[in-house]
Amino acid sequence: MSNWVEKMQDQMNKTNRSYDSFARELDIPKSTLTDFFRYHKEISMLSVYKMVNTLFNEDRVINEKCCIEVFSKYERNIKINMKRLFVLSYLNGYNSILEYLINMTSKHKDSYVKKYSPLISLFYERSKGGNPKKHILMVEEVRKSIPEKETLDMEIISDILYLLSVGDIGDFGMFDTYRNRIYQNISVHKNQDLKWIYKYWIDDIWSYSLLRRLRIDEFNEYNSQLRSHDYLKYFPVMEAAIDLRKGESLIFTDYKQSYKHSLRAMNIFKNQSVIKYKIALNNINFLKLVNKKEVETIDLDTLHPAELALYFIINNEKKRAIDILLGILDKNKKLSPIQYCYLGQAKMDLQLIADSKQMFIENGDYFFAQYATRVYYEYKEMLEYGGVK
């Protein structure tokens, strides 16, 4: 028995959990626990994840070490449990496990396991804020060498990375096509754990695409369905991500509710996932800026350069805003639609603002096109009154 399995058993004893009671708490068969603790059998890493999260009160560092230790002893069911561990780690922001899996798969003697290393590496890069355009190109390279025995899982994971990457650049035009292919592949998958995890993952991504395309009622329906999953009580980071989506959906319509959902998510992310915490903080900063509420409470060091430019626009320091935005343009050779909108605001240029709205629409991003519409009419009125309001 490994050191961490012994620690799990000790923690069960300290918290007065019997196999019967713990099995009911985790919604797994008692035999899974006896196989794991008494007979040292390999069990689903989904079950291990649930056990660890419950026993150690969602302590991320302990959870990562424990899952790595347990999985590193597996000899028989490597491929299937590697996939379970990878997806759960990615969704919960467990980057130490992703680092372990990249190293493990790259050196593994099984050529099929080895094939997953480049794909996991791309997801890891994305979690660190990598270049989505590069990821789109690289995932196509991965597709060229997918072995026949791994076609189903690698196609699902590759398609999901493609959707995440095009979503990162605000392009939602091909979402329906890829989503339908993913659902089709999931429907014929034989493993129930992976079937559930993949289905949850694509439903979450799909719900966000609905939001960005301003299909709010459909987004709310999916958001509620995702929130109702029984497994979420074992995965607080995944639950917090649903809150963050809800908060984002209310940015332009309900400041208080948007702030409440976003703050709740950020507080969960704080000790669980650095990258997800930063995303939540960015959302809250953006919420304050676009609604011009509690702007004085923003820590300027936490602002993305583009949103720092918006901060200066709000504070009537337009020259500083223009310098920042032109700096971004010089570095990236282009601006995102919302950055063009900010530049239009800084220059009091209605055409630039209108162009940014058209860029949003061309990408199928009708949600943030709302911002350009609002700003256009606000600045049109300001210009009619000589540039002041």
Give per-residue pLDDT as tens, 327-342: 999 998 999 999 999 9
* Spatial distance between the Cα atoms of 78 and 335, rounded to a whole number of angstroms: 44
Quote the longest CA-to-CA distance of the chain: 80
Full-model pTM: 0.90
* Residue 83: both structure tokens together: 């996939």
* Spatial distance between the Cα atoms of 297 and 384, rounded to a whole number of angstroms: 32
Residue type (1 letter), 167:
G
Predicted confidence at residue 388, as pLDDT, reads 53
* Spatial distance between the Cα atoms of 155 and 152, rounded to a whole number of angstroms: 5
Angle between helices 3-14 and 45-55 (to 10 degrees): 50
* Helix boundaries (H) for 15-143: 19-26, 30-37, 45-55, 60-72, 78-91, 95-107, 111-114, 117-127, 132-143
Using only C-alpha atoms, the chain has a radius of gyration, in whole angstroms, of 23
> What architecture is the 1-76 domain classified under in CATH?
Orthogonal Bundle (1.10)
Predicted confidence at residue 145, as pLDDT, reads 84
Closest by Cα among 172, 226, 188, 198 to 365 = 172
The per-residue pLDDT for range 134-158, each reduced to its tens digit, is 999 999 988 888 888 888 999 999 9
What are the residue boundaries of the structural domains of the chain, listed by start? 1-76, 79-214, 304-389
Predicted confidence at residue 244, as pLDDT, reads 98
Per-residue pLDDT of the chain (389 residues; tens, 9 = 90+): 468 889 999 999 999 999 999 999 999 999 999 999 999 999 999 999 999 999 998 788 999 999 999 999 999 889 999 999 999 999 999 999 999 999 999 999 988 899 999 999 999 999 888 888 999 999 998 888 888 888 899 999 999 999 999 998 888 878 899 999 999 999 999 999 999 999 999 999 999 999 999 999 999 999 999 999 888 989 999 999 999 999 999 999 999 999 999 999 999 999 888 889 999 999 999 999 999 999 999 999 999 999 999 999 999 999 999 999 999 999 989 999 999 999 999 999 999 999 999 999 999 999 999 999 999 999 999 888 776 54
Predicted confidence at residue 275, as pLDDT, reads 85
Predicted confidence at residue 59, as pLDDT, reads 83
Give the SS3 label for residue 75: coil
